[in-house]
Structure 1
Amino acid sequence: MSRRVFVMALMAPLIGLVLTQGEASAAPNFQMPFPCNQVWEGQTRTGHSPPNSVDFNRANDDGDPVVASAAGTVTRVANEGSTSYGRWVEIDHGSGWRTRYAHLSAQSVSVGQAVRIGQRIGSVGTTGGSTGPHLHYEQRLNGADQKITFNGSLIFYWGTRSYTSRNSCSTTVAGTVGTDSGAAVTIRSGPGTSYSAVGSVASGATVTISCQAKGETITGKYGTTNLWDKIGSGYISDAFVYTGSDGQVAPDC
């Protein structure tokens, strides 16, 4: 064997290693597909399809929000009926990276839509081949499933562990207050009209939402919801706030 061939043979594994490290470095800083501070049990198992995917569960999770684990563009919003993924969503994050969210009870996005990290894309369900409510989640690179990382850390393989979401914990969301009559909206000390009034905000004002809580169901200009938005030290019903989404857009309070 010539010296050049010998050297190239020695370098081949290193070249492959460099390419693999380069691809890994392009991965987004994925976060859990749930609002900030929610705690979920994640299960990995060797017989899972695909093997590197994870199933998430928690008590009474049917209908819970599922959010984008990184910013990207929606590439699939599909329904496999009573088989496989059931209702599912796929998001393209660039550089060959995509995420999949399956067994959803509802999908909140459309193909071609740009989504931000932490934006609601659907709801936990039990569609497709599921035997109970849970979220099936995948991270894929160039079509192949990868071992999953959140906030730069690899999840546990193989078995079950408890994880706390840090998705969008340090971000705030802007919204515009609106009422049909143009009247101001009362700010409450808690998420309901039974809580004391602590101020008001004018219709047309822009507000910063630090977190959201579930409370009294209210009907307003932007629909009917039990979500309440914390602005400053008080709450207003999300039914009077336009954020561009009908679902939860900020962390849990």
Structure 2
Amino acid sequence: MTPVKRLQLRLSSLVLLGVFVTAAQAAPNFQLPVCGKSSTQWRVSNWKGHNPARAADLNWGSGDADLGKPVAAAAAGTVIKAAYDTNTGYGNNIVIDHGNGWRTRYAHLRSMAVSKGQTVKRGQRIGAVGKSSAKYTFPAHLHYEQIYNGTVRDPIINGVTVAYGTVRYFSAGDCNTGTSTATGTVKTNGANLNVRSGPSTSYSVVGSLANGTKVTIYCQKSGQSITGYYGTSSIWNRIGSGKWIPDAYTYTGSSGFVAPKC
């Protein structure tokens, strides 16, 4: 091999190595995408034959034991999807964009606590484990994908790679409730909406808001079930100290929780 060809080969290798290092450095510090008691061990299975390949399934128990357990954002980012898919098997699924080409997907959820456009923190609760799907019937579990530039990759959790066709176990961490807030818009048939001192109509009226008023939602909790502009919901939104409005009259982009629990 001539000196020129050796130099060209070395430069090509360095370029390829540089691309690889850049991609690796761009990966967020992904945590386990569930949270709860730190003593809880989660089984992460990156099994062959899964669709798409290299996606992982997460389970804590067997059967439907995982149903309703909290799902957490694996890294900070922006929610670019929070919807139920009718043309895929994902069911309720959330996709978070982490920047630099990285995204994560959380599928088959029982419920979703965030909405499109919302910014989330690492470890923030975003939904609950479920078994929703428009195509398949299976026990409750979390379907999880780490995606780089449109390609699903072997998931890296707490710095450990779950290689294709393997199973690893990880301890859950505390849920990061964070201090994030959400925004909403009051929606009625034209009348003003009463603001209550608590999450029920049995609490006193402390004010009113006109139709179309934008509000900051500091936290949410379950209270009296109310039928309003957006159907029936037991979720109430705290918009200030001692100020509550029913989610059934609030547009948030989601029928579930979109802010920390009160």
Provide TM-score, normalisation by structure 2.
0.65
- Say which SS state the counterpart of residue 248 (structure 2) adopts: helix
1: distance between equivalents of 2:200 and 2:160? Answer: 38
Aligned counterpart, 2:58: 55
Does the CA-based 8 Å contact 1:77-1:107 persist in structure 2? no
Does the CA-based 8 Å contact 2:41-2:169 persist in structure 1? no
- Say which SS state the counterpart of residue 230 (structure 1) adopts: strand
2: distance between equivalents of 1:54 and 1:219? Answer: 36
Aligned counterpart, 1:87: 91
Cα-to-partner distance string for 1:170-225 (whole Å, 9 max, x where unaligned): 43222223444624413223x3334x437223233332101211222111233210
1: distance between equivalents of 2:132 and 2:56? Answer: 17
Aligned counterpart, 1:218: 226
Does the CA-based 8 Å contact 1:182-1:203 persist in structure 2? yes
TM alignment of 1:38-77, pairs within 5 A: 42-45=42-45, 47=47, 49=50, 50-51=53-54, 53-55=56-58, 61-62=67-68, 70-71=77-78, 73=80, 77=85
Aligned counterpart, 2:170: 160
Cα-to-partner distance string for 1:56-95 (whole Å, 9 max, x where unaligned): 5586634978989743655993555xxxx55365748476
Is 1:229 the counterpart of 2:232 in the alignment? Answer: no
Specify whether residues 46 and 199 from structure 1 end up closer, same or farther in structure 2 by C-alpha distance, changes over 3 A only.
Answer: same
Number of residue pairs matched by the alignment: 238
Specify whether residues 68 and 182 from structure 1 end up closer, same or farther in structure 2 by C-alpha distance, changes over 3 A only.
Answer: farther
Paired residue type of 1:124: G
Is 1:185 the counterpart of 2:194 in the alignment? Answer: yes
**Offset, 1:45:** 3.3
Specify whether residues 55 and 3 from structure 1 end up closer, same or farther in structure 2 by C-alpha distance, changes over 3 A only.
Answer: same
Does the CA-based 8 Å contact 2:92-2:112 persist in structure 1? yes
Aligned counterpart, 1:102: 107
Paired residue type of 1:43: R
Aligned counterpart, 1:19: 19
2: distance between equivalents of 1:215 and 1:126? Answer: 25
1: distance between equivalents of 2:218 and 2:15? Answer: 46
**Offset, 1:229:** 0.7
Aligned counterpart, 1:132: 139
Specify whether residues 77 and 21 from structure 1 end up closer, same or farther in structure 2 by C-alpha distance, changes over 3 A only.
Answer: farther
- Say which SS state the counterpart of residue 108 (structure 2) adopts: strand
Specify whether residues 53 and 106 from structure 1 end up closer, same or farther in structure 2 by C-alpha distance, changes over 3 A only.
Answer: same
Which structure 2 residue ranges, 5 or more long, are not aligned?
Answer: 163-167
Aligned counterpart, 1:245: 254
Specify whether residues 237 and 160 from structure 1 end up closer, same or farther in structure 2 by C-alpha distance, changes over 3 A only.
Answer: same
Cα-to-partner distance string for 1:220-242 (whole Å, 9 max, x where unaligned): 23321011111112332111222
Which structure 1 residue ranges, 5 or more long, are not aligned?
Answer: none
**Backbone CA RMSD of aligned residues:** 4.5
